[in-house]
Amino acid sequence: MGAQWKAKGKAQAADARGKLFGKLAKEIMVAARGGADPAGNSKLRLVLEQARKVSMPKDTLERAIKKGAGIGGDAASFEHVVYEGFAPHQVAVMVECLTDNVKRTAPEMRVLFRKGQLGTSGSVAWDFDHVGMIEAEPATAGADAEMAAIEAGAQDLEPGEEEGQTLFWTEPTDLDVVSRALPEHGFSVLSVKLGYRPKNPVNPANLSAEALEEVEAFLAAIDANDDVQNVYAALG
């Protein structure tokens, strides 16, 4: 897997879309603290591009910017918190949360990790690289992913979640530059974000069907929590 863990199955598509909009709204609010103008706020610009790619309603998007920037007296404040630990069968997990109440989120995470093991700060982070992640697909015939990665300045690449897509890995500081360069080399950018890449992922083939099902169920339960933004699991 290597990238962000994502729930399988299309039956929950509508719920997943609503949850995605909610997550993006939080990210927009946090990014907008650095200024409501995306021209001078690269973090906000990247999130807005992702929101537009998934057709997030314009009024929802604008409301999130105003809340984050404190415009109109309707300010919102979210704290970024990362929880580390293990899913069943010692699969390392990084969980990113955006919460307006850590006193609510922390005990909820402790409960969710009961079937695994909640670690302390740094307990599994050493086994992940903090990276830029860009999902893209060819926009022109003959676009070469490897050449695009070299020319745009990406560090690595691998097949994306969907057929025909490519996941480009970058240094965190190069994320904005690479995402802007890829379209010049024949690729349409679908999503841009900072995330975690496992250094020593567990091969799912080495787990029994029952064990893999337990890991997937554990990850799905965490991902369903309203405060959870991203779940990164060391599965490869």
For the stretch 94-116, pLDDT in tens is 999 999 999 999 999 999 999 99
Average pLDDT rounded to a whole number, residues 63-86:
87
Same domain, 194 and 131: yes
The token pair at 72 is 């109109």
Same domain, 140 and 100: no
Q: How far apart are CA 215 and CA 207, in angstroms?
A: 10
Same domain, 118 and 179: no
Mean pLDDT rounded to a whole number for the chain: 89
Give the residue numbers spanning the domain of 109. 79-124+200-233
Same domain, 210 and 102: yes
Same domain, 134 and 228: no
Residue-wise pLDDT tens digits, 16-53: 778 888 999 999 999 998 899 998 998 898 889 888 88
Same domain, 141 and 185: yes
Angle at 1 between CA 222 and CA 220, to 5 degrees: 15
- Answer yes or no: is 219 within a domain: yes
DSSP 36-78: S-GGG-HHHHHHHHHHHHTT--HHHHHHHHHHHHTGGG-----
Indicate the number of domains in the chain: 3
Collect all residues with Cβ–Cβ distance below 8 Å to 27 and sequence separation of at least 6: 47, 98, 229
Same domain, 34 and 142: no
- Answer yes or no: is 6 within a domain: no
The token pair at 203 is 């091969």
- Answer yes or no: is 5 within a domain: no
How far out from the chain centre does Cα 28 lie?
Answer: 13
Q: How far apart are CA 224 and CA 62, in angstroms?
A: 25
- Answer yes or no: is 8 within a domain: no
Which CATH number do you get for residue 167? 3.30.70.980
Predicted local confidence at residue 2, as pLDDT: 47
Same domain, 19 and 131: no
- Express as a percent the part of the chain with pLDDT over 70: 94
